[in-house]
Amino acid sequence: MVVKSQKKTCLNKIEYISQKESLVTSVININTTINDYELQKKIDNNQLKRVFFYSIKKEFRDYFVFFKTIKKEDGLYDFKILTSFFDANRSFNNYKIEHRKWSKEEIEKTIKGDIGLIFENDTIILKDCN
């Protein structure tokens, strides 16, 4: 079941942090405002199972791994996603990604948009606050 929260629950900022120079997996940081108390309680109790980008094709979503949640203050959360999807010259499930370097602008455009938060049987859709 997909649920749209009636209370202020939205994306503030999505940021890609490339770490391929240091030979560790790159990170996507998703900063959110969540003013729905029930949703906060689920997140605080580690019931969030998965975070995904609607802009990424379903067959590639497994290459974006939900790593952890950081509660910055009441109602403000950061979700950390690990990915090597944007590294050049990758092959996924016998499907060759173009041999090119992703520009910062291309990556930002790809990860912008709605985010899905999966809690057991429910998916919460986060939309941009603007």
Q: Give the pLDDT confidence of 4-15 residue by residue, as tens digits.
A: 544 578 899 999
Please tell me the distance from the alpha carbon of residue 34 to that of residue 38, in angstroms, as a whole number: 10
Residue 126, pLDDT > 60, answer yes
pLDDT digits (tens, 9 = 90+) for 24-40: 889 999 999 999 999 99
pTM across the whole model: 0.82
86 closest CA partner among 41, 26, 31: 26
| Mean pLDDT to the nearest integer, 28-57 | 93
